[in-house]
Amino acid sequence: MPQENSAAKVLHHLKQDILKGVFAAGHKLKMSALKERYKVGVNPLREALSQLVVMQLVQVQDQRGYRVCPVTQSELVDIYDTRARIESLCVGLAIVRGDDAWEAGIVAAAYQLQANADLLKADGDIQAWEQLHQQFHYSIVQGCGSKELLRVRLDLYEKASRYRNLWLQHNAGHGAFDVNQMEHEQLVKATLARDAELAKKLISQHIQVPSQVLRDLL
Amino acid sequence: MPQENSAAKVLHHLKQDILKGVFAAGHKLKMSALKERYKVGVNPLREALSQLVVMQLVQVQDQRGYRVCPVTQSELVDIYDTRARIESLCVGLAIVRGDDAWEAGIVAAAYQLQANADLLKADGDIQAWEQLHQQFHYSIVQGCGSKELLRVRLDLYEKASRYRNLWLQHNAGHGAFDVNQMEHEQLVKATLARDAELAKKLISQHIQVPSQVLRDLL
DNA sequence: TTTTAAACTAATGTCGAAATTTTAATACCT
DNA sequence: AGGTATTAAAATTTCGACATTAGTTTAAAA
């Protein structure tokens, strides 16, 4: 098993902590506090923070350390709008390029998501549901076959995570999940029917849902 | 004047050196050599390298240091294909959203590029020409108004730079510049006429040109 | 009371060196 | 000879300490 270095480990944990909201937007990331929390020295920490700066999750001020990037309404709208366009691009390409295995993967992921939806909803295990949800959407876009496009998509997904977690938190218990499930069925139907125009329209709307809700909240 | 730290300075220089081909694809980046070249300690170096890893210009192998990412034909094709699609997206949005100032900016940048093209071609100052070329295309896509989309575009542009420099090197002195100039005129015409479909088609083809040539070279 | 300056505290950024791991070179055995 | 174990050299990664800079409190002067 490849033993990754301290910087890689702290990067993973720190990133999750920021995305999950453990460190709120604008929070000052003091070296002493982070050293304490992750049990590492300053140098691995600085490496991890440097990487988070490139990912635009952390800001750096010269000689004044690091802080979590602020969240703004305009960035929220921009990210979700751009995500919708990129995901549309992926879906359109996947419909053109996807083969039998791709179709089978979609059906499998859709089944998994639906089968576990009620269970997880009852448990309140939103993270597990989000995992299946992500897997479902990935099974579709994966058919586009472009590593670069999929990476752009992933970057935007992660950048949206902080906002999405606010939404999940706000919408826990609401009927949004059932609407969500219906949208998924329509999307699968349009995708397998290779109806690119409809599928692109559906995925675009589906992605924008949290944005609509959160817009008034920020 | 904000004095940036060592890591930021070395990041800039090292990145340029990789993009310009000073360090070839696959080249091992030894700490001792980099320390010597950039006159800094190992820690700022590791911070810069960490950031280049996120930008996918450098690979890291645990306990085995860093090396410049390899270049492959499949990545070349993927990057240029994805760039064409993203740039199309930007152009389409800019045509819908662009205002008078946007139009004026395009005309100005196009004039600058054309006015200096012959001069720079004679001098062989390709870097200066590339600067104006980049400015010209940015003046168009800038009208899309989406920071996220423009950032994705910039990331892909930089990732393509290593391949583009191979192309510029290979095509110095050829008649490609004149063809290029004609494509620009058509693009400006279609864009200012707000003909989205034509402009998107033109920019997509324009971007793919180096890819076509390089495909056989790698 | 307000303003300015100075001293003190705390945090960041950098270097040199130690500890760990990989790479190579050499010797050894079948 | 071929392959394996041993040893030495080189490179990466991490820590501790120091210099530098920012932020805060205290004190003095207007």
In a domain, B52, yes or no: yes
Spanning CA of A47 to C1' of C16, the rounded length in angstroms is 19
Do both A79 and A183 map to the same domain? yes
The gap from C-alpha A40 to its chain's centroid, in whole angstroms, comes to 28
| Strand C contact with B65 (CB < 7 A) | no
| Strand C contact with B169 (CB < 7 A) | no
Spanning CA of B53 to C1' of C19, the rounded length in angstroms is 25
> Residues 18-77 of chain B: which lie with beta carbon within 7 Å of strand D?
28-32, 42-43, 46, 60-66
**pLDDT at position B1:** 45
Last residue of a domain, one of B33, B52, B68: B68
Do both B123 and B186 map to the same domain? yes
Beta bridge partners of residue A174, listed in sequence order:
none
Q: What is the mean pLDDT of residues A101-127?
A: 88
**pLDDT at position B172:** 64
Do both B77 and B60 map to the same domain? no
Task: Give tens-digit pLDDT for A46-91.
Answer: 999 999 999 999 999 999 999 999 999 999 999 999 999 999 999 9
Last residue of a domain, one of B53, B68, B83: B68
State whether residue A33 sits within 8 Å of chain B by CB: no
From chain B, the residues in CB contact with A55 under 8 A are: 54
Do both B209 and B159 map to the same domain? yes
Residues A174 and A12: their CA atoms lie apart, in Å, by 31
Do both A117 and A204 map to the same domain? yes
| Confidence category of residue A1, pLDDT binned at 50, 70, 90 | very low
Do both B64 and B88 map to the same domain? no
Total domains, chain B: 2
Q: What is the mean pLDDT of chain A?
A: 93
Do both A115 and A203 map to the same domain? yes
Q: Decide: A89 and A145 in contact? Cβ < 8 Å.
A: no
In a domain, A48, yes or no: yes
State whether residue B59 sits within 8 Å of chain A by CB: no
CATH number at residue A14: 1.10.10.10
State whether residue A1 sits within 8 Å of chain B by CB: no
Do both B198 and B148 map to the same domain? yes
Alpha-helix runs per DSSP H in chain B = 6-20, 31-38, 42-54, 73-97, 100-123, 126-141, 147-171, 176-192, 196-215
Residue of A103, A137, A138, A132 whose CA lies nearest to A115: A132
In a domain, A1, yes or no: no
Last residue of a domain, one of B48, B68, B88: B68
Do both A102 and A45 map to the same domain? no
> Residues 40-79 of chain A: which lie with beta carbon within 7 Å of strand C?
42-43, 46, 60, 62-66
Mutation to test the A interface, candidates B66, B147, B148, most A Cβ within 10 Å: B148
Structural domain of A81: 73-215
State whether residue B7 sits within 8 Å of chain A by CB: yes
Do both A64 and A79 map to the same domain? no
The strands making up B66-68's β-sheet, listed across from edge to edge, are B28-29, B66-68, B58-60
> Residues 3-22 of chain A: which lie with beta carbon within 7 Å of strand D?
5-7
Do both B60 and B81 map to the same domain? no
Rounded to the nearest angstrom, the minimum Cα separation between A178 and chain B is: 31
Phi-psi group of A177: left, alpha or beta (phi > 0 → left; psi -120 to 50 → alpha; rest → beta): alpha
In a domain, B84, yes or no: yes
State whether residue A43 sits within 8 Å of chain B by CB: yes
In a domain, A185, yes or no: yes
Do both B174 and B118 map to the same domain? yes
**pLDDT at position B216:** 85
In a domain, B1, yes or no: no
CATH number at residue B88: 1.20.120.530
**Residue ranges of chain B whose pLDDT lies below 50:** 1-2
In a domain, A201, yes or no: yes
- Positions of E strands within chain A: 28-29, 58-60, 66-68
| Confidence category of residue A127, pLDDT binned at 50, 70, 90 | confident
**pLDDT at position A177:** 72
In a domain, B26, yes or no: yes
Spanning CA of A140 to C1' of D2, the rounded length in angstroms is 53
Rounded to the nearest angstrom, the minimum Cα separation between B131 and chain A is: 23
